[in-house]
Amino acid sequence: SQTIHQWPATLVQPVGSPLSLECTVEGTSNPNLYWYRQAAGRGLQLLFYSVGIGQISSEVPQNLSASRPQDRQFILSSKKLLLSDSGFYLCAWGTPIRSSYEQYFGPGTRLTVT
Amino acid sequence: SQQGEEDPQALSIQEGENATMNCSYKTSINNLQWYRQNSGRGLVHLILIRSNEREKHSGRLRVTLDTSKKSSSLLITASRAADTASYFCATDSRGSNYKLTFGKGTLLTVNP
C-alpha cells in the first residue's frame, strides 16, 4: 500500500532563517507530487507540483522553492523565511495513470515563523 | 484561485442528525471530490463524482452534482461525534494537468 511521509511535524523558525521540508512517498512509482499551504481556518493553496524528477511548476510567486531530486521525494525550501510563510504545509501525491485526479495527503508540517 | 466555495462555513448538529454541506464552483469541471480534514491533520479523500454523474453513495455519504447549477452537496447521514472535521470540495477541469482547486471548507461539529 502507498504511504506518504512528511517531516518535521512542527517547526518554529526565526524570520530570515532557511527552510527545508521533506516529503517522501512509498509504494508507488512516478507519482505527481504537490505542495500546499493552508492558513489557519482557510482552504488549501497550491504552491508547487511536479510530474517527474526535476520537473517543478510554481503556482504562486514567492520566496519558496521546490525540488524533486528523486522520483518519490519532494522538498520545499526557502533561503530566508518571512513571517507570512507561517502556516500548515501539506504534501500530496496522485497517480497520473488514473483519470480521477484523487490526491493523497501527508500528515502536514506546522510552520511558525517568529 | 479558489474555485469551490463551501456553504455553510460552519455547521453544528447533534449526533444522529444528518449534515448537509454545499459546494459551488465557477467553471466547467471533469470531476468533483470531497475531502475531510481532522484538526491539525492531512486531508482524507472521501468520494469523487464525475461530471456525467448526478449522485453517488459511499456508506453514510451521499454526494449529488448539478452541473447546470455548478453545485454539489455532501450529505452525511446519522452523524457521529467522529464526523467532526472540516470538509472540502475540490474540482479539476480539462487541461488542469492533474491539479485540484479546493474550496475554503465547512467546519462540521457533531455534538454527542
Q: What are the pLDDT digits (tens) for B64-91?
A: 999 999 999 999 999 999 999 999 999 9
Q: How far apart are CA B77 and CA B97, in angstroms?
A: 34
First to last CA, chain B: 36
Quote the pLDDT of residue B99: 87
Please spell the DSSP secondary structure of chain A, one letter per residue. Answer: --EEEEE-SEEEE-TT--EEEEEEEES-SS-EEEEEEE-TT--EEEEEEEEETTEEEESS-SSEEEEEEETTEEEEEESS--GGG-EEEEEEEE-TTSSS---EE---EEEEE-
Q: Is A88 on the interface with B (CB under 8 A)?
A: yes
* Strand, coil or helix: B83: helix
Tens digit of pLDDT for each residue in B90-103? 998 877 777 899 98
| pLDDT tier at A53, thresholds 50, 70, 90 | very high
Quote the pLDDT of residue A100: 66
Pick A98 or A106 by higher pLDDT.
A106
Res. B2: pLDDT tops 60: no
First to last CA, chain A: 38
To probe the interface with A, which of B88, B91, B96, B99 has the most A CB atoms within 10 Å?
B99
**Cis-peptide into A18, omega within 30 deg:** no
Mean pLDDT for B12-28 is 95
Q: B2 and B99 in contact (C-beta within 8 Å)?
A: no
Quote the pLDDT of residue B1: 39
Q: How far apart are CA A71 and CA A87, in angstroms?
A: 26
Quote the pLDDT of residue B51: 93
Distance between B84 CA and the closest CA of chain A, angstroms: 15
Residue A70 main-chain phi, psi, to 5 deg = -135, 165
B41 contacts A44? CB cut-off 8 A:
no
B contacts of A59 (beta carbons < 8 Å): 99
| pLDDT tier at A83, thresholds 50, 70, 90 | very high
DSSP letter, residue B112: -
Residue A85 main-chain phi, psi, to 5 deg = -80, -10
**Residue A17 cell numbers, joined:** 532563517
Q: Which residue of A has its CA nearest to B99?
A: A101
B98 contacts A49? CB cut-off 8 A:
yes
B48 contacts A43? CB cut-off 8 A:
no
Name, in order, each residue with C-beta under 8 angstroms of B79's C-beta and a sequence gap of 6 or more.
Answer: B13, B15, B16, B17, B18, B19, B60, B108, B110
Distance between A103 CA and the closest CA of chain B, angstroms: 7
Name, in order, each residue with C-beta under 8 angstroms of B37's C-beta and a sequence gap of 6 or more.
Answer: B43, B44, B85, B86, B87, B88, B105
| CA gyration radius, chain B | 13
